[in-house]
Structure 1
Amino acid sequence: MKDNFSGHSDSYSKFRPGYRSELISYLVSLTKRQQCAWDCGTGNGQLAVKLAAYFDEVYATDLSENQLRNATPKNNIQYRTEQAEKTSFDASQFDLITVAQAIHWFDFDAFYAEVRRTLREDGVLAIVGYALLQVDESTDKVIQKLYSDIVGPYWDPERKYIEDLYKTIPFPFHEEKTPVFHDEYQWTLEQLMGYLETWSAVKHYMRDRGENPITLISETLKQSWEGFDTKTVTFPIMLRVGRL
């Protein structure tokens, strides 16, 4: 599994979108028990914190110690630095396993073997993520220029799975049909630019060229925001749910 986010865990925690209560309630409704959940690739624990309101115990793992240091502590969450593909968990331990915006970095075969080992027979695996954000026509054009033209060559190959809305990831489980979810936020221009700077391709560009590519679109972005204090930012949610 790649670790593209240890170096900017503070900004990741501050600017990355979370997951709404409607999605969490749906995932919980799929489980027969709410005893133990595992949020794999937890990052700063955004999803794990939401699960902790429902489950007796939540284990939240990530490859990045820096990310976990920025995670929100909860009495019933245990944060651990572990690989997704090889953990110290017991067999048949979990009622729910979640992966939020991280499955595309995993070794699918090895991780799914670990899912089969640690998930209870009637447990649920939920793969969650968010696709490219949408604002409005003028702002979307600027974001698309950044995404495709400026930092396009700097995206990791795994980004293709997100562009395909996770429909092309291997998923060898009994899959359930899921509702459609969207996350919406009222963001300032500062929040939008802060989020764009967390993109892995932006970080790769900065390391390669020694400059921030956001500066190349900042003026045009400001023009598209003229007259607005905030705008509605929408993230289409990707979701695949399966059982053993």
Structure 2
Amino acid sequence: MPIKDYFSGHAKIYATFRPDYPNALYDFIYKHLHEKSRAWDCATGNGQVAKHLASMFDEVYATDISNKQLENAVQASNITYSVSSAEHTTFPDNYFDLITVGQALHWFQRELFYKEVMRTAKPNGLLAVWGYAVLSVDESIDELFNKFYTETVGPYWDDARKLVEDQYRSISFPFEEIPAPAFSIAVEWTKQQFAGYLSSWSSTQKFINSNGFNPVDDFITSLKNLWQDDELKNVTFPVFLRLGRIKK
């Protein structure tokens, strides 16, 4: 199976407009840790998660298949970035207290990745995988947004997107699972920020490559009577987590 890299071509857009995960998510994960020595953030992208881990762990190792993504990553003295696939790394055995994957597990060859988790995690370490599902603004905007999501760029989503829509409930997860509550991301965005986020989607970039124009422009124009240029609106993303303890 070929490695899927849908973000190198627009790494700066991705780094600028992707929303941050809530502190409550990290707090829930951290309270189940036995040690906080080393963490591996797999598919780190712009280092969004690695930055948060760096405030808690002595050492953070963050990997991604995209060097372009890593060029835009947040820097910290205790974060080591490297280009690597999720399924094959050079990390030692029994090395990590926590392994994290934010909004990326659906791109992996999961059985191979799980083997790498078993090899590199310490006994009783944790694997935390999470993502965020389809956003909501308000009833009037959501109606137009859902049409854009399903009809305009819908055909350009990779099949793996269905796993996100299902909130990872249908994936295999061969670890001792710790029940997790639902979380959410809440941001205040201008219409321009909303447009930037939509442009960061892999499906939007595929549409642009196929058709030669950005479909977000027309969609944002359709919101002119619903969202003023300088107006801030609340945007909410449901966040889901699967947390597992690694038994050896």
Shorter-chain TM band:
over 0.9
- Tell me how far 1:226 sits from its aligned partner: 3.6
Aligned to 2:92: 90
* Residue identity (%): 48
Q: Is the 8 A contact 2:191 2:220 kept in 1?
A: no
The root-mean-square deviation of aligned C-alpha atoms, in Å, is: 1.1
2:192–2:229 Cα contact (<8 Å) kept: no
CA distance in 2, matches of 1:51, 1:113: 23
Q: Give the aligned residue type for 2:201.
A: W
- Indicate whether 1:69 and 2:63 are aligned: no
Q: Match of 1:96, SS? A: strand
Alignment of 1:55-204 (within 5 A): 55-204=57-206
Which deviates further from its counterpart, 208-217 or 31-40? Answer: 208-217
In the TM superposition, what are the counterparts of 1:26-45 in structure 2 within 5 Å?
26-45=28-47
Distance apart, 1:9 and its partner CA: 0.5
Compute the displacement of 1:28 (Å). 1.2
**Counterparts of 1:186 and 1:16, CA distance in 2:** 13
Following TM superposition, by how much is the alpha carbon of 1:183 offset from its aligned partner in structure 2, in angstroms? 0.9
Write the mapping of 1:47-62 to structure 2, written as runs, cut at 5 A. Answer: 47-62=49-64
CA distance in 2, matches of 1:231, 1:216: 19
Q: Distance in 2 between matches of 1:210 and 1:219?
A: 18
Among candidates 199, 208, 211, match of residue 209 of structure 1: 211
SS in 2 for 1:224: coil
The aligned counterpart of 1:4 is 6
The amino acid across from 1:234 in the alignment is: T
| Distance in 2 between residues matched to 1:227 and 1:70, nearest whole Å | 28
Residue identity in the other structure for 1:187:
W
The answer as to 2:199 corresponding to 1:231 is no
Normalised TM-score (structure 2) = 0.96
Alpha-carbon distance, 1:23 to partner: 1.3
Inter-partner Cα distance in structure 2 for 1:25 and 1:241: 13
Cα distance in 2 between the residues matched to 1:110 and 1:146: 35
Deviation per residue, 1:71-120 (Å, 9 max, x gap): 01100000110010000000010000000000000001100000000011
Cα contact 2:190–2:229 (8 A) shared by 1: no
Question: In the alignment, is the contact (CA less than 8 A) between 2:177 and 2:245 conserved in 1?
Answer: yes
Deviation per CA, 1:118-150: give whole Å up to 9, x if none.
011110000011111111011111211111011
| Alpha-carbon contact 1:189-1:222 (below 8 Å) kept | no
After TM superposition, the score normalised by the length of structure 1 is 0.97
CA 15–174 in structure 1, closer or farther in 2 if over 3 Å, else same: same
* Pairwise CA distance, 1:228: 6.7
The 1:201/1:227 distance shift into structure 2, 3 A limit, reads: closer
* Mean Cα deviation higher: 214-223 or 170-179: 214-223
